Amino acid sequence: MRVALIQQRSYESKEATIKRTLELIDQVAREADLIVLQELHQGPYFCQSEDPSRFDLARDFELDVEFWRWVSEGRNVVLVASLFEERGPGLYHNSAIVLDRGQIAGKYRKMHIPDDPGFYEKFYFAPGDLGFEPIDTSIGRLGVLVCWDQWFPEAARIMALKGAQLLIYPTAIGWFPEDPQEEKERQLDAWITIQRGHAIANGLPLVCVNRVGFEADPSGCLEGIQFWGNSFACGPQGELLVRLSTDQEEAQVVEIDLERIREVRNIWPFLRDRRVESYGCLLKRFCD
């Protein structure tokens, strides 16, 4: 499977941002079976402040889906889009849509919602209610998750137990310019490490696509976020297959061999040895 990672900046308007996305897509579409876009790729990461007017960005969700469906048809690819979904008045989700050569293959609504200074997602997004369900496509069963999900081993494990063949994380994560350099390095390294850990634990390849570039905090409370790029793909032993830059837009294609899932799991048969009868505590918030 040939997978394209599209890592880009946000531009002055939705139109300009999408135009740039299409340019990057067209650099690689002919060499790719699957194209993965970053989280909320149609515009800026608007969750840096809590602003009710930003809910308007979700109003065209159906049109947005139709547009990316059309893109997937024209390029003859499977496409993972990440969109702001208005489900009804006052009810919104951070959703990933999988488009399969002109068909809507499925939808995932972000399950784990962060809320930290500069990432006020609990204000914007209701927690997903579709569960952790892989999405079947013409090229395989895709375990699509979104950003904050990448810190939770449970999400990756459930996708694996449901037969996902590839873990996919559209993402928007970056540094605060005011943090010390050592903290920035620890954060970036932790982010890559934990996701490689999910690949290893589940014997699955993984693709993560992050945005790049600085976006100022429109509220002025914080300086803003320097999105750290470093989109990457790894194989089922966590081996890095490709890693993009920290500060440049890039469209890169990587070959992922799904046969390796079986090979690696046959030498590291973790799924055989899980002690499922002793895992009850995982269904509790805390076991005090």
3-state SS assignment for residue 259: helix
Q: How far is the CB of 40 from a copy of itself (least distance, A)?
A: 18
d(C-alpha 180, C-alpha 221), whole Å: 19
147 is catalytic: yes
CB 42 within 8 A of CB 20: no
Q: List the structure tokens of 232.
A: 């990457």
Q: Does residue 157 belong to the site contacting a copy of itself (CB under 8 A)?
A: yes
In angstroms, the Cα distances linking 247 to 125, 143, 181, 225, 250 are: 28, 27, 16, 12, 9
d(C-alpha 217, C-alpha 258), whole Å: 41
User: Which lies closer to a copy of itself via its Cβ, residue 67 or residue 152?
Assistant: 152
Residue 35 neighbours by CB under 8 Å, 6+ apart? 3, 4, 6, 25, 28, 29, 75, 77, 78, 79, 80
Structure letter (DSSP) for residue 130:
S
User: Which lies closer to a copy of itself via its Cβ, residue 4 or residue 142?
Assistant: 142
- # residues near a copy of itself by CB under 8 A: 53
User: Which lies closer to a copy of itself via its Cβ, residue 20 or residue 184?
Assistant: 184
Position among 49, 197, 222, 243 found at the interface with a copy of itself (CB under 8 A): 197
Among the options 85, 107, 121, 147, which is catalytic? 147
Interaction pattern, residues 37-76, with a copy of itself; x per rule: CB under 8 A? ----------------------------------------
Which residues make up the interface to a copy of itself (CB under 8 A)? 111-114, 116, 127, 131-132, 148, 151-154, 157-158, 161-163, 186-187, 189-190, 193-194, 196-198, 200-201, 237-239, 267-271, 273-288
Residues marked as catalytic: 39, 110, 147
